[in-house]
Amino acid sequence: MIEITGLIKTLHGGGHKVEILKSIDLTIPTGQFIAITGHSGSGKTTLLSLIAGLDTPTGGSINIDGQDITKLNEDELALLRGKRFGFIFQNFHLIPTLTALENVVLSAELNGTPGANKKSEDLLGMVGLGDRQHHYPAQLSGGEQQRLSLARAFINDPDIILADEPTGNLDSKNSDRIMELIRELHREKQATIVLVTHESQIADQSQRILTLEDGQIISDRNKDNL
What pLDDT is attached to residue 174?
Answer: 87
For 34, the 3-state DSSP assignment is strand
Q: In this structure, are strands 59-64 and 2-13 parallel, antiparallel, or unpaired? A: antiparallel
Q: Tens digits of per-residue pLDDT, 137-185?
A: 999 999 999 999 999 999 988 999 999 999 888 888 888 989 998 898 8
Which amino acid belongs to residue 88? I
Beta strands in the chain (DSSP E): 2-13, 16-28, 33-37, 59-64, 67-68, 85-89, 160-164, 192-196, 208-213, 216-222
Give, in words, the CATH class of 2-222: alpha beta
What pLDDT is attached to residue 19?
Answer: 93
Alpha carbon distance 121, 123 (integer Å) = 6
DSSP 8-state secondary structure symbol assigned to residue 128? T
DSSP 8-state secondary structure symbol assigned to residue 103? H
Strand partners, 210: 36, 220
Produce one character per residue of 190-217: b if its CB has 16 or more CB atoms within 10 Å, e if not: ebbbbbbbbeeebbebbbbbbbbeebeb
CB 38 within 8 A of CB 212: yes
Which residues of the chain fall short of a pLDDT of 70?
224-226
Q: What is the pTM of this model?
A: 0.89
Phi, psi of 7 (to 5 degrees): -75, 125
Alpha carbon distance 129, 151 (integer Å) = 9
Q: How many residues would you count in the chain?
A: 226
Q: So where are the chain's domains? A: 2-222
Dihedral through CA 7, CA 64, CA 92, CA 208, nearest 10?
Answer: -70
Angle between helices 142-154 and 116-126 (to 10 degrees): 140
What pLDDT is attached to residue 224?
Answer: 63
Alpha carbon distance 135, 98 (integer Å) = 9
What pLDDT is attached to residue 189?
Answer: 84
Angle at 50 between CA 185 and CA 52, to 5 degrees: 35
- Total Cβ atoms within 10 A of residue 180: 11
